[in-house]
Amino acid sequence: MLSQRPKAEQTALPSMNEEIRIAELGPRDSEAHTDHLRVLKDLIVMNEDKYPGIECWFASKLETGLRSGERIAYIAYHDNHPIAAAVLKLGDNAKFCHLRINDSYHNLDLGQLFFVQMTLALRHHAKTVHFTLPESLWSQKSNFFQSFGFSAVIKASKQYRKGDPELLCSAPFPVVLSAALRKLPRLMKSFCLGRWGTKSDIVMSIRPQYAKRILTGAKWIEIRKRFSHKWLGHDISIYASQPEGAIVGKATVGSIATSSPADIWSRFEPGIGCLKSEFDAYVQSAKEVTAIELTDVISYQEPLSLNEVPALGFRKPVPPQSYCEVNSQKTGLWMNAVYLADLLQDHFMKVEATKQSRML
């Protein structure tokens, strides 16, 4: 059930530069009774006066569903203060089970963000999506729901809320997904969502075996025959070339050094992550090569295959031979792919980047 926002203690609105974290709850939270689960219970049980029996629903349906993987829950935090919660039920006929946002945060598009996040979580599961809501909420917010493809309502067969007629909204999943993807770029630009919300400036194409070494920390120096020093300090998306063909992680250009191949090998051999014969085969007769230090490396739990991009509503970008700028007229299709790769992480917005101390 989607419900109207509860009255809450007034909290200063965060600026868009402040971090709003969204924690995703799954089987581990239910099994270990984590702090997130206790916070979720507090947020849901506070609605008992309007939804009689909701505490029993939490214990019998939600906890069990989290443990089995049938349900996913989300909590939004601002400065470690919980400000919103949502619950999603997976399946062919998926359901947005619950969404409540603290009254002080209703102008920050958190409702849009939750709907997009839950929709993307369903992309391998759902054929249709539905939810119930009080008639008064549909009257107030019908434009919001219609913007996600929920164009009509009918009377619900089951009454969850006390005193307010319950309505049922449903829509084909492709319609909801298409609407969610149209909203995605603006939301990713608007919110500061930890590391996941930081747009990469370039995409670097790396052979799969070397990309894997970067993600595991066995390699932190990437060699290029040409690389502009203007990218110092910029974020990059790591594209593992064929046969993988996927965006597998991200990193930051920590420092850059250009010199002769012999000097580069002598100075940076431990971080280059390959045999001398492999290095020589790449540089060949080049008089100069560039060593690029990759720091703040993040490995994606769910790499985004470029073959999946069209199914998510965007045109497939062309992989660069070496690297390319994300936001350029020639390679602009990469911007959508990078946004998608960031958002599709199962743990997006709740993982801190591990800083590496290696410096050139």
Q: Domain residues of the chain, as ranges?
A: 20-192, 196-343
Burial of 34 (0-12, 13-18, 19+ CB in 10 A): middle
pLDDT band for position 347 (cuts 50, 70, 90): very low
The 3-state DSSP class for residue 359 equals coil
The CATH code for residues 20-192 is 3.40.630.30
> In terms of residues, how long is the chain?
360
pLDDT band for position 125 (cuts 50, 70, 90): confident
pLDDT band for position 262 (cuts 50, 70, 90): very high
Query: 319-339 b/e with 16+ CB inside 10 Å = b?
Result: ebeebbbbeeeebebbbbbbb
The three-point CA angle 321-299-274 to 5° equals 55
Per-residue pLDDT reduced to its tens digit, 41-56 = 999 988 877 778 888 9
Fold equal for 20-192 and 196-343: no
Per-residue pLDDT reduced to its tens digit, 130-143 = 999 999 999 999 99
Quote the CA–CA distance of 74 and 6 in Å, as a whole number: 17
The 3-state DSSP class for residue 56 equals helix
Quote the CA–CA distance of 193 and 14 in Å, as a whole number: 13
CATH architecture observed for domain 196-343: Roll (2.30)
Range list of β-strands (E), the chain: 20-25, 71-78, 81-89, 93-101, 128-134, 153-155, 166-172, 202-206, 221-224, 235-240, 246-259, 289-305, 323-325
Quote the CA–CA distance of 187 and 342 in Å, as a whole number: 12
